[in-house]
Structure 1
C-alpha cells in the first residue's frame, strides 16, 4: 500500500490497547518514521536494524534515542502512524456519499493496488508484515496490531451495513463477519501480491469477494448503468 508522509500525520492520543504515539513532531522524528515505514513495509521488523534506519533517515543515533526508548517503542509508533494513514484512506473512500457502498470498497482496493504499484509491489501492509513476525516481537505488539485491525474492520462493517440497507448485500449476512472476512482475505492478497510482485492477487480477491456478497439484483443494476 502507499506509504504515508508522517510529517502530515497528527499524533494520536494513546488509547487502551493501541500503539503509543510520541508527542514530539520534529523534523528528525518525521525522517525516522518515514524511513522506518519504508524499511519495515518492505523488509520487516526483524531484518531491519536501528543503524539502517539512521542511515536512511540521515540523522544521528542520539536523535533516535531522544524520540524513542528503543526499537520496540519505535515499532509501536510506526504502527500508530500507519494506522493513521490507512484510516484516512478508508474514510476518504468509505465516506464518499457520491458512490454506492460497494463501489466505495472498489475504490479503496484500487487505490491500495495503485499504491503498491508505485513501489513495484515490494512494500506491503505494515500491520500484516508485523503480524507475520509476531513470534519474534514483544508481546505488546499483539494488542496494538489487533486493535488496529479491529478499527479497520469496524469502518468496513459500517460500510457493509449501509450496503445492506441499500439492498446491495442480502439481509442474511452479518456486516461485522463480512468485515472480518474481508480483512483476513485482503491481508493475504497483499502478502501474495508482494511475493509475486504483481497486482493479480489483489484484483482476484477484491472481485471475488464482492461477487460473493453482492445481491444479484444490485449487481445487474450496476452493470446496466
Structure 2
C-alpha cells in the first residue's frame, strides 16, 4: 500500500518550483532540478503531481495564495476607505518587487508569456486566478464608487481588469529597467486616471500612512 502524501514534501516542492520558475521560467527548469532544490528524490515527485504541467498549476496556486496572504488583506480591510485600500495593495506589491531589486517580475505575468496550448491545465488555472484578482479589485471599486470616490463609468469588473493589465505592464517595464519608476508612474498617474480620481491620490494616502 503506498504511503500517504507528505504535506511538508509537497510544500518543499512548491517552494522550490516557485523560486526556480520565478527566476528562470518554466521551460528552462526540469523536474530533477526542482526535486534537487527541494531536497527530495526525483521519483517521489510523481507521488504528488501527475506531470510537470500539473505541477506548474500547483505552483501558480501556491504563488497566488502567498499574494493573498501577504497583500490581499489590504483590499478587504473595511476599516480603511476603498480607494485607500486599493492604493495600499499596489504599494505593498511594489515594496515586494523593490526588495527583489525589480528583477523577477510577477510570476503570473511571466507565465502568461510562456504557457501554450500544451499547458492547458496551468493556463486555465492562470485564467481563473486572473478572474479572482479582477473580482477582488472590482469589489473594492464598487465600494469606492458607492462612496463617490470613483467617477469612472466603466463597469467595475472590466475596470479592475484594465487596472491589472496596466499594473502588469508596469511590472514588465520595471523588470526590464530594474527600476521602480514604472511602479510609481502606475500609482501616481495610471491608477488615478483609470478610476477617475485626482492625481494626488497616492500622495494623500502616504500622508495618512496608508500608501
Instruction: Give the TM-score taking structure 1 as reference length.
Output: 0.80
Query: Would the alpha carbon gap of residues 218 and 61 (structure 1) be closer, same or farther in structure 2, given more than 3 Å must change?
Result: closer
Aligned to 2:196: 214
Alignment map for 1:1-225 (pairs within 5 Å): 24=5, 26-135=7-116, 137-170=118-151, 172-212=153-193, 213-216=195-198, 222=204
Question: 2: CA distance between counterparts of 1:56 and 1:164?
Answer: 47
Checking the alignment, whether the CA contact within 8 Å between 1:168 and 1:215 is kept in structure 2 is yes
Query: Would the alpha carbon gap of residues 160 and 97 (structure 1) be closer, same or farther in structure 2, given more than 3 Å must change?
Result: same
Q: Residue by residue, what CA displacement relative to the aligned partner does 1:60-101 show, whole Å, maximum 9, x if unpaired?
A: 112212211221111111111122222334531111223221
Question: 2: CA distance between counterparts of 1:147 and 1:28?
Answer: 26
Question: 2: CA distance between counterparts of 1:151 and 1:209?
Answer: 22
Question: Which segments of 5 or more consecutive residues in structure 1 lack a partner in the other structure?
Answer: 1-22
Checking the alignment, whether the CA contact within 8 Å between 2:152 and 2:196 is kept in structure 1 is no
> Quick check: 113-122 or 23-32, which moved more?
23-32
Q: Secondary structure at the match of 1:203?
A: helix
Aligned to 1:12: none
Q: Secondary structure at the match of 2:116?
A: helix
Query: Over aligned residue pairs, what C-alpha RMSD do you find?
Result: 2.4
Instruction: Give the TM-score taking structure 2 as reference length.
Output: 0.85
Question: Which segments of 5 or more consecutive residues in structure 2 lack a partner in the other structure?
Answer: none
Question: 2: CA distance between counterparts of 1:216 and 1:191?
Answer: 25
Checking the alignment, whether the CA contact within 8 Å between 2:188 and 2:200 is kept in structure 1 is no
Query: Would the alpha carbon gap of residues 24 and 94 (structure 1) be closer, same or farther in structure 2, given more than 3 Å must change?
Result: farther
Question: 1: CA distance between counterparts of 2:45 and 2:33?
Answer: 12
